[in-house]
Structure 1
């Protein structure tokens, strides 16, 4: 009887299988595999593949079994068959690790089964950072590789049940030390599992500002903002800006004045809380017309872009196209120039995070889906699987788009979707991305922290570390009221109200209420005093008119002012000696009020003078 040896090669992560000398009517074996991932508290994962190869012919047997993984840090590689060890050959190369199992015996005969186990450890499969455990099981190229493929995850009990996992497991159980998550029929799918729903970081940033001109100037910087998924808590901002404002993309813009031929370094220290679920307290940024328009780097009207976009019907289809179309490849030179979407398509094998992001934004906008670029810091323990491409203090770029159905902005990272071998960064995002700046109204500005470099010296301007906890601070707001002066003249009834945030957190949905003690006196704020947003250390100022409808001399009254934040915060301040003015002031501006007063004074003087002359003549 003729007996034939078969060598099987299995490529892990991409999982393409080739069989040498297969029968004409199909593969010579039926293969099943059960893989167990056991994650330690240090993050090292022990991976055990239990293979079963059943002969479908009477003339074939397996002599070698080869696996190749792009991961380079596989250790403690051991193979066994029953109680016997199977010799293994391990080769580490620049493109990964190859493991070859060599069987000394022959399992011959139809329906005969060879069972063996391959075990090794990896420091790249699971990532433990702070309060979060992330675990990735790669997908395979075809379900035809296995008659059955099942997976079990065993993770430390302190991380609890997975808060997000794709696909849904069939069963979850617990022991005294581990959570056990089972996928009995995984098919070709991969697994992305996230344990924990919040991550905390400490951030230290430096902004180097320079004015090389001979005249005073101003400089503006983007401070890391709140987003529905990100809460900032500033410990210090030194020096304080002359102005802090919120732009239409939700950026926090700090303005500084610089004298001629001067330099200034701004230091920010902050704690950051990244959450898996959007916070209802942080308002969603309003979609603007510019969020679907063509801009530099986002050439939505280019013919190549339009040809591709016509076949992409959803944002997920755009994401999947970008992940598949581009190949991440960091060039040897340290200077990275941003290419834009069209240039990325022209050279798809030389893309970094900027190209992945720009192509996603451009294709989404070409389908009239609002999309933006986010630049910031992405916490990564493996620069091969989750690289950081912007060379200014290892920044990263990713995208967000507006989901009209959910009525919220959703972040996606096509770069990491590509480099992780298929991890889903569209359906579920992680807790590693810290937004420094959002580009939507403009494709380039504002610039993120880490981009404000000095021409005089090199410096590391971004430092990020994990935090064990994020301690919320209570609201601490003060309200002031001072006379408003127009051309140096204090006008009765006109005041400037100021609300100062003494904390490093932003507060939302703030309401200010004013009540006058004197009957008939009404307070008219110049702007709506509900649903206000106040940024860290910011002072909001707005004109207030204290007036009566009766024509009379200014009246003294007492004002009671209340600041409200939902039901949790209610601070009342009383102001005595407040003088009322005329209600008509609210319909006038800063120029006409003094003119009316001066005119009234002049007319009164003329009338008084005329009466005096008339008396003398009488």
Structure 2
């Protein structure tokens, strides 16, 4: 933030005074400013301020110009007027850097003006954070003396496309090396300039889940681990202990399943990385059933409430709903603490001054659903330096929530953040930044599954969620394997082939196409839309017996794209044995039949053999 003052000298009096725009200077001088922030490839910003001071009274002139910067550390400060260098006095007060420029020449008379340049270099305006560049330009102080203001932000093309920029520039230009954003005063009154450049950002995560089986028999327990979404891709380094499997629910959550012995307690440690993208990717098709489920009222989304339905009748688009929620609710930072009671959409309408992220999210979802727009909640982590809305994950596992709505034209879920929109004044509807990490998705249920940080045991819960800027792991691909069991249904009948397609890699695999061949002929084919890390897909089929069918294969081939496994049927190796066994079984059956039908007198034959032996 910066502030400017003028030192005014009265031609008829020997004393000079410093006045802010709110007093003397406002009525006697007009001040225009054109400020250029030019960022180089290394992130150093060269700032050039061109100031024009115009006299409105004949008896006054400007003797000094005072320029204040807050929270920065400028270097190479210089000032020029008409090509001549001016002396700049630099002082420090707390976090403020104050420049004073004295003018040696007098400029007097109504309409007379002077134009001078104040320039400096600053390293903190552009910062490399992981895979992205973050640019933050100081906010214009509300007491500034500028009548006209124009700011130009020049960003090297090497930074990549903007992932997010606010406020919206009035003009965007481009040359061979830079992209140039122009802002006028009307867009800078409320907000600083904030921008993020780059295609993606990568975070590492370290999550702990504390789970137990409270009953006296073995039982399955599930935990929700961070999933892939249209805006994020997850890479898993390790889950310890290894889950029985990982599968997707209808909302797109990844659920890791563990089989626990009776009365068993375990700590599950999950390590990995997540890559956040600027633009949504098309992943899995969303069914009409799921979209319909995301328009129904739930415990905290009372879309059937008369007042909410009345709002929905007038707020018919997601953007109108977003603007209403951000303007109607007020953030109450005193409620941001562990175990806070969730109010829900209906209570948020009644108590608009008592909202935190849950109420902003719940009210948006309830109104959207009442308007027939599919909407759902995301629970996760949002990285911010704003202490008023920062998650308490530094000291506790209080996470952030924000809504998503279904864009039927793009056929994807679009995230928005009305909480950040209300607290920052920035636009978090048209473009989200690269700082929101999805942990769980709530669509068919407003509370389940629970997000990481919620799985705690005992009276003294510990911190279980750790997030940091990371890098793309070396092992970041799926690893598809084929496992199988070949079982005899009965000794002489068909065999059952059980095939498991597993993913032991770091990331999710998409659109896998398992095929099973009997002696080179395609017998069965399936499609696996997605297979997450630690996931498995099962296929079962019968192999005909050689004894009763001439279609029993000698060799079975299983392929999943480029992965393949040969299975030796071994029928031909045991065919003779099976024939012998069948012959013995037939003989015994016939023998028993003859005895029971009295066609074979076993006692007679035994007596005959004994007497014959005695004679000999």
Establish whether TM, by shorter chain, passes 0.5. yes
| SS state at 2:365 partner | helix
> Aligned partners of 1:59, 1:293: CA distance in 2, in Å?
72
Contact kept in structure 1, 2:11 and 2:61, CA below 8 Å: no
Match of 2:337 in 1: 334
- In structure 1, the partner of 2:159 is 159
CA distance in 2, matches of 1:363, 1:236: 40
The answer on 1:343 being equivalent to 2:347 is yes
* 8 Å Cα contact 1:272/1:470 also seen in 2: no
Partner of 2:576: none
Alignment of 1:349-360 (within 5 A): 349-360=353-364
Q: Quickly say closer, same or farther: Cα 1:132–1:294, change in 2 above 3 A.
A: same
1:205 paired with 2:207, answer yes
In the other structure, the counterpart of 2:440 is 437
Aligned equivalent of 1:273, options 265, 272, 275: 275
Indicate the residue corresponding to 2:71 in structure 1. 73
> Is 1:575 the counterpart of 2:567 in the alignment?
yes
For 1:395 and 1:357, how far apart are their aligned partners in 2? 13
TM-score after normalising by structure 2: 0.75
- Deviation by residue 1:288-342 (Cα, 9 ceiling, x = unmatched): 3221111122122234433433332321222222223333332177333322223
Indicate which of 341, 345, 370 corresponds to 1:366: 370
Q: How does 1:369-448 map to 2 (within 5 A)?
A: 369-380=373-384, 382-384=385-387, 387-388=390-391, 392-422=396-426, 424-448=427-451
1:446: how far off?
0.9
Moved more, 151-160 or 410-419: 151-160
Deviations 1:81-112 (A, max 9, x none): 953658999687xxxx8999999999775433
The answer for the alignment partner of 2:582 in structure 1 is none
- The 2-side partners of 1:452 and 1:562 are apart by 39
What residue is the counterpart of 2:37 in the other structure?
Answer: 37
Any conservation in 1 of the 2:519–2:553 contact (CA below 8 Å)?
Answer: no
Distance in structure 2 (CA, Å) of the matches to 1:518 and 1:613: 50
- Shift in Å, 1:346: 3.2
1:225 deviates by 0.8
Which segment is superposed worse, 80-89 or 314-323?
80-89
Displacement, 1:20? Answer: 7.9
Task: Tell me which moved more, 51-60 or 323-332.
Answer: 51-60
State the superposition RMSD in angstroms.
4.7
Q: Partner of 1:128 in structure 2?
A: 128
Alignment partners' CA distance in 2, 1:308 and 1:138: 38
With the length of structure 1 as denominator, give the TM-score of the two structures: 0.75
Distance in 2 (CA, whole Å) between partners of 1:558 and 1:214 is: 46
Over 3 Å counting, the alpha-carbon distance change for 1:210 and 1:73 in structure 2 is farther
Query: What secondary structure, in the 3-state scheme, does the structure 1 residue paired with 2:247 have?
Result: strand
CA contact (8 A) 1:354 1:397 kept: yes
Check 1:607–1:194 CA distance in 2 against 1; reply closer, same or farther (3 A cut).
Answer: farther
The match for 1:221 among 223, 241, 258 is 223
Q: Distance in 1 between matches of 2:200 and 2:334?
A: 34
Match of 1:500 in 2: 502
- Worse overlay, 288-297 or 245-254: 288-297
| In 1, Cα distance between equivalents of 2:128 and 2:520 | 63
Distance 2:101 2:331 in 1: 35
Whether 1:535 and 2:532 are equivalent positions in the alignment is yes
**Cα distance, 1:30 vs structure 2:** 5.4
Shift of 1:480: 2.8
- Name the structure 2 match of 1:585: none
SS at match of 1:369: coil
1:217-256 aligned within 5 A: 217-256=219-258
**Conserved in 2, the CA contact under 8 Å of 1:484 and 1:491?**
no
Distance in 2, Cα, partners of 1:305 & 1:98: 51
The one of 458, 462, 467 aligned to 1:459? 462
Distance 1:212 1:119, change over 3 A: farther
Q: Return the alpha-carbon distance in structure 2 between the equivalents of residues 440 and 348 of structure 1.
A: 24
**CA spacing shift, 1:61–1:443, aligned 2, 3 Å:** farther
Distance in 2 between residues matched to 1:368 and 1:394, nearest whole Å:
31
| Cα distance change on mapping 1:609 and 1:389 into 2, 3 Å | same
SS of aligned partner of 1:339: coil
Greater shift in the superposed pair: 491-500 or 242-251: 491-500
Q: After superposition, what is the alpha-carbon deviation per residue over 1:63-91, rounded to whole angstroms, capped at 9, x for unaligned?
A: 9999999xx73566999795365899968
Contact 2:520 2:557 in 1 (8 A): no
**Alpha-carbon offset, residue 343 of structure 1:** 2.7
Query: Which of 298, 309, 320 in structure 1 is aligned with 2:312?
Result: 309
Q: C-alpha deviations, 1:450-505, integer Å up to 9, x for none?
A: 2212215432212222224443545432223323567x989614321111222122
Highest Rg: 1 or 2?
2
Instruction: Provide the C-alpha distance between the structure 2 equivalents of 1:312 and 1:99, rounded to a whole number of angstroms.
Output: 48
1:103-122 to structure 2, matched below 5 A, reads 109-113=109-113
Q: CA separation in 2, counterparts of 1:180 and 1:457?
A: 52
Consecutive unaligned residues in structure 1, runs of 5 or more: 10-17, 565-569, 581-603
Whether the 8 Å CA contact 2:211–2:265 is kept in 1: the answer is yes
Q: Equivalent residues in 2 for 1:162-173 (5 A)?
A: 162=162, 165=165, 166-167=168-169, 169-173=171-175
- Distance between the aligned counterparts of 1:123 and 1:285, measured in 2? 46
Partner in structure 2 of residue 299 of structure 1: 302
**Structure 1 partner of 2:599:** 616
Count, aligned residues: 559
